[in-house]
Amino acid sequence: LERIIIVNLSQNEIQFRDVPNIGLENTGRALALSLLKEFVPDNTDYFNENNVIVITPGLISGTYAPSSGRFSVVTKRTGGGLRSVNLAGPFANRLMSLGYLAIVVRGTAPETLPVILVINEKGAALKSMPAIRYQPITETISYLRQEHGKEASVIGIGPAGEHVLPLGTIFSTYPPGKPEYFCVRGGMGDAFGNKGLKAIVVSSEKEFNANIVNPEIFNNRVKELTAIIREHPICGKALPSYGSITLMKILKNGGRLEEDNKPLQQAESSTDIAERQNTNQPKVNRACSVNCPIGCLNRHTTAGISPFDSPFDSEAFAACQNYFGITDQSFVINLNKKCFELGLDSIEFLSSCALLMKINHYQNAKEGLIQLLEELRLVSPVGRILGSNTSGIYSLYAEYKELRQMVTRKATSEHANFKVQIPNRIPGVESLSEMEYLYSYILAAQNIGMCLFTTFAMIDNPEALTLLAQLATGRTGKRVTPLMIIQSGYDSLLKERAYELDSMKAGMLDNIPEFVKVLYRYFGREKQ
Ligand code: SF4
């Protein structure tokens, strides 16, 4: 039987709840939404003690299904609905291998010392952990892996999250090796910091031990889907080689993947990596987890210069070029590492620096970046302003309308500018617009645990969606069709929209004028 862990930090208490019947509708982001609705009262603010953080692996995480180890971290926004980030690493696989569909974190730790949550075969426990308070992420991971085993998977926050800075984000470990971890884009480290939760450690013995009801159906499909993903020109080659920002630039130029950007970044071959691998050095990680055939880590290089560890380096490089004209690759790699050590969303850090440097007329971009990172590390007043991200900074300078365009916009802000076409859609959902079909697949993928990098190979290929449905069938023992996958994503989309609207309606009470206090007293009596 699979279970949910419910942790109450205020009460220092952990409970478990059985979930008898799992499926597309109650795993991943779909499950996270229903847990938010259950545990968070209406009109709860982001930092309110009553808000919760929900962590959910996908339906087929913890199996050898390709690229299926993604997980969602979800909470409620102030005055709105759900806020989420999606992370990778063996964490989700290990959690699902122990039979856990979700972790719900309620309350706030009563002391100022950070706590950690440890999950293993024996159950789950909360521990106070003063030794790692405000520690950089490498130290945090090494301390926790010494205590809980070198294969332990860890998610958590760095000093930026502990100081509850909006620029603080969540890290997730890779298997032991280089790179050791990444910091996800999208923040939410402040939600962990506000609760006093520094990290969650999962130290299961096995990474791929999720309960599969029908292994025969399941195992046969794993190889076939892996081959489809690996052979796709974007998933198997361009994306891991160039990273998503460079890929987007290439696609803007008409999709000429082969001609553009070759001198800048090329895929490093397995032989090159083997040569680079030296017995004294940590293992070179090619993927977040061994079940990913894409392996987008350590795949970008420029001849003679140290290679990018991950698409994050590559994206930071593109951002540095774009904002500051910096083309010094070693500088960017180093800067990105320092940002990660503090637990920062490095791309948002660069955007925030670009805005602050424009406001303050910085002349030397490299010096400015180093100086601002130091302000952030020291949590000085300037560091705190910077840490409030582009929207926080802009709110202080809103009279300068020309700066508005430098505020980071939502990923979907380009929605209206595009006419998406997915020619090979599965039949049965013709009433969905192409864009709705795209979003439905994205949400379904997050419910299932698939890395979004696989979308190129999956969404426009009914054969791939059929294999994915068969994997879900094998995992649950219940018949799942490709149509049900898209429908489940659409269902999630509708439920999230409804939650957003309900939360906004609840927030409308905030807009009633102060005079209402007089009217309460004139027309009523205070309840005893
Ligand atoms: S494609 Fe990259 S990010 Fe996605 S699961 Fe594979 S290695 Fe991780």
353-399 per-position pLDDT tens digit: 999 999 988 889 999 999 999 999 999 999 999 999 999 999 999 88
Rounded Cα distance between 159 and 177, Å, is 23
Atom of ligand 1 nearest to the CA of 67: 5
Q: What value does the mean pLDDT take over residues 10-16?
A: 95
Whether 238 and 311 have beta carbons less than 8 Å apart is answered as no
Q: Is pLDDT larger for residue 58 or for residue 269? A: 58
Contact 294 CB / ligand 1 (< 6 Å): yes
Whether 403 and 359 have beta carbons less than 8 Å apart is answered as yes
On the question of pLDDT at 273 being above 70, the answer is no
SS3 38: helix
The pLDDT tens digits of the residues spanning 190-206 come to 999 999 999 999 998 89
Quote the ligand 1 centre to 240 CA distance (angstroms): 9
Number of H helices, E strands in the chain: 20, 15
Q: HSE (CB half, 13 Å, CA atoms) of 120?
A: 14
End-to-end CA distance of the chain: 45
Quote the ligand 1 centre to 152 CA distance (angstroms): 19
Q: Crossing angle for the helix pair 346-359 and 311-324, nearest 10 degrees? A: 10
Select from 172, 181, 288 the residue to mutate for testing ligand 1; criterion: most ligand atoms less than 8 Å from CB: 288
Select from 60, 61, 63, 67 the residue to mutate for testing ligand 1; criterion: most ligand atoms less than 8 Å from CB: 67
SS3 335: helix
Rounded Cα distance between 329 and 525, Å, is 68
Contact 295 CB / ligand 1 (< 6 Å): yes
Atom of ligand 1 nearest to the CA of 287: 7
Predicted confidence band at 263 (pLDDT cuts at 50, 70, 90)?
A: very low
* DSSP string for residues in 399-454: T-GGGGGGSPPPGGGGGGG-----TTPPTT-TTS-HHHHHHHHHHHHHHHT--GGG
**Nearest-CA neighbor of 427 among 352, 339, 487, 370?**
487
Quote the ligand 1 centre to 292 CA distance (angstroms): 6
Q: Is pLDDT larger for residue 161 or for residue 329? A: 161
Quote the ligand 1 centre to 65 CA distance (angstroms): 13
Contact 292 CB / ligand 1 (< 6 Å): yes
On the question of pLDDT at 56 being above 70, the answer is yes
The pLDDT tens digits of the residues spanning 361-374 come to 888 999 999 999 99
How big is the chain by its Cα radius of gyration, in Å?
Answer: 23
Q: What value does the mean pLDDT take over residues 408-412?
A: 77
Predicted confidence band at 303 (pLDDT cuts at 50, 70, 90)?
A: very low
Rounded Cα distance between 244 and 235, Å, is 11
Burial of 237: CB neighbours in 10 Å, binned 0-12, 13-18, 19+? middle
Whether 420 and 432 have beta carbons less than 8 Å apart is answered as no
Supply φ then ψ for residue 131, to 5 degrees: -65, -25
Quote the ligand 1 centre to 286 CA distance (angstroms): 9
Q: Is pLDDT larger for residue 8 or for residue 308? A: 8
**Nearest-CA neighbor of 214 among 478, 518, 411, 414?**
478
Atom of ligand 1 nearest to the CA of 297: 7
On the question of pLDDT at 261 being above 50, the answer is no
Quote the ligand 1 centre to 228 CA distance (angstroms): 15
Atom of ligand 1 nearest to the CA of 70: 5
The pLDDT tens digits of the residues spanning 115-144 come to 999 999 999 999 999 999 999 999 999 999
